Amino acid sequence: MPKQNQEHQDWQSVLAALKGGMPIEEPADNQEGIPTEEESGIHAIPPQRFVVAIQRKGRAGKTVTLISSSEEGLLLPELLVYLKQRCGCGGAMREEKIELQGDKRKQAQAILTELGHSVQLGN
C-alpha cells in the first residue's frame, strides 16, 4: 500500500505543478463570442441605405427577415455572419439579399444603425 500512496502524492504534485505553470487568460470584453466590428471585417462596408422587411409568402408560414441594400454588390458575407450572431438566428445570402430566420426587423435595424447605416423598415 505505501507504493499507492506515494504514486497518489506524486500525481497530485505533478498536477499542482502543471496548474501553477499555466498562463492565466484575461477575460475578453466580448464575453458572448460575438466578433467585434474590426474582427468581422464589417467596417469595410461604406455607409449606405438598407431596407429591412419580412416575408412569409412561399415559405410554409415561416417568417424571414429580408435585408437589401440600395447599393448593389455591397452586401458582404461578413455582414451576414455578424447579423446572424448578433440576432442569434440562422440565415443565408440569396439573390443579393440577406435572409435572417424569424422576425428580426427591430434587431437588424438597431445593429445596422449602430454600424452607421441608414435603415428603412418595410412591411
Tell me if 105 is assigned to some domain. yes
* 48-100: pLDDT as tens digits: 899 999 999 888 889 999 999 877 666 678 889 999 999 999 999 988 899 99
- Grid coordinates belonging to 94: 440569396
Residue 98, domain extent: 37-121
Grid coordinates of 46: 461604406
Would residue 78 count as lying in a domain?
A: yes
Coil, strand, or helix at residue 77? helix
108 found inside a domain: yes
Domain tally for the chain? 1
Q: Output the domain CATH number for residue 110.
A: 3.30.780.10
Judged by average pLDDT, the poorest of 11-15, 34-38, 114-118 is 34-38
| Helix and strand totals (H; E) in the chain | 4, 5
In the sheet that 97-101 helps form, which strands lie side by side, from edge to edge?
Answer: 91-94, 97-101, 64-69, 49-55, 118-121
Q: What band does 32 get if pLDDT is binned at 50, 70 and 90?
A: low
Whether residue 26 is contained in a domain is answered as no
Q: Is residue 22 part of a domain?
A: no
Task: Please measure the distance between the N-terminal and C-terminal CA atoms of the chain and give it in whole angstroms.
Answer: 77
Does 10 reside within a domain? no
Between 66 and 35, the higher pLDDT residue: 66
**DSSP codes, 26-73:** PPPS-TT-PPPHHHHTGGGSPP-EEEEEEE-TTTTT--EEEEEESSTT
CB-based contact 107:98 (threshold 8 Å): no
Residue 7 lies in a domain: no
Domain contains 44: yes
Q: What integer pLDDT is reported at residue 10 of this predicted model?
A: 79
